[in-house]
Amino acid sequence: IKSSAASDVYKRQELEDTLPATLSKELIDGLLKEKLGFNGMVVTDASHMVGMTSVMKRSKMLPTAIAAGCDMFLFFNDPEEDFSYMMEGYRSGIITEERLEDALRRILGIKAYLGLHKKNKKEIVPLKEGLNVIGSPEFKEIAAEASDMPPPAAAASFLFHY
C-alpha cells in the first residue's frame, strides 16, 4: 500500500512539473501574479494545442486552466460543450467561487476599459470585407511600425546593404 501511495504522489508531482504554463498554478498565480505583480487579464494559449490536450482530458483541462489563473480562453472548440466542462469544473470545486469572481472581474474590467459595453457589435467585430486589409501593404506597414521593425521594403534593403 505504501509503495502505491508513494507512486501516486510521484506521478502527481511529475505531472505538475511537466504541465504547460497555461495549466500551471505555480507559474500563473505564483510567478506571474504574485512574484512579478501582474494584475492584468491572462488569456490561455489555443486550447487545441497538443501541449494542453496531451496532459489531460479537455473536460478537466478547461477548468484547470481557469483554476491555475487564466481568465479567458483564446477560442473555444464547441462553446456549449466547453461551457458544460467549465460548469462541471465549478460544481466539482476545481474552479473556486473566489477564482471565478476574480476572472470575471478581470474580463469585465478590460471590457469596460475598452468601452465594449457602449459599442454596437458591428463596431467590435469587423465585417467580412474589413478582413481584406490583412496582408495588404498598408497592413504590413502598420504591423512593422507596431513591432518596431523596419517595413518590408526597408528590411530587404537593410539585409542586402550589410
Residues 17, 45, 82, 102: which is the catalytic one? 45
CA 100 to chain centre: 15
Q: Is 8 a catalytic residue?
A: no
What distances in angstroms separate CA 19 from CA 12, 81, 121, one per listed residue?
11, 23, 37
d(CA 6, CA 21): 26
Which residue in the block uniquely carries the three cell numbers 471590457? 111
Q: How far apart are CA 22 and CA 59, in angstroms?
A: 15
CA 50 to chain centre: 14
The whole-angstrom separation of Cα 100 and Cα 90 is 8
CB 55 within 8 A of CB 23: yes
Side-chain half-sphere exposure of 36, counting CA atoms within 13 A: 11
Catalytic residue ranges: 45
